[in-house]
Amino acid sequence: MCVCVIQSVKNRYPKEFAYYTVHGKGSYPIYRRKNDGCSATVRGKSLDSPWVVPYNPTLLLEFNFHFNIKIFCDIRVVKYLYKYVHKEDNRVAFRITQDTGSETVNDRKL
C-alpha cells in the first residue's frame, strides 16, 4: 500500500460525501463535498472530492502556497485563543538595587 494512503487513514481521509456544510456544536464543521462523479488519477489511484483538503482560493492565489484552512464557529475556540494569547509566562521579572542602609541581603539563584 502507498505511504500516502497509509498516512491518509491517520489524517481521516477520505471524508464522506456531504451535500451541505454543517456546523456541529463542539465539533469540527463538515464541509460540503458533492458526489459529482468527477475524479482524477494521481499516482495510479483514482481520487474524487472526499480526498480534497479544504483550501482558500484567495490565499492560494495571493501567496502561491496551500493553507489548510478550516472555519471554527464555536465559542470555545475564542476562549482558547484568548487564553493562549494572554497566558502568563512562567518567569518573574525583578530588579535588585543596592540599598544604602545597614541591612545585609543574601543573593540567591532562582
Give pTM, 2 decimals.
0.41
pLDDT at 1 over 50: no
Does the CA dihedral 62-67-73-77 come out positive or negative?
negative
Alpha helices in 43-74 (DSSP H): 57-63
72 near 23, Cβ under 8 Å?
Answer: no
* Cis, bond preceding 29 (omega within 30 deg of 0): no
pLDDT tens sequence across 48-96:
877 777 777 888 888 888 777 766 667 777 777 777 777 766 566 667 7
Burial of 29 (0-12, 13-18, 19+ CB in 10 A): middle
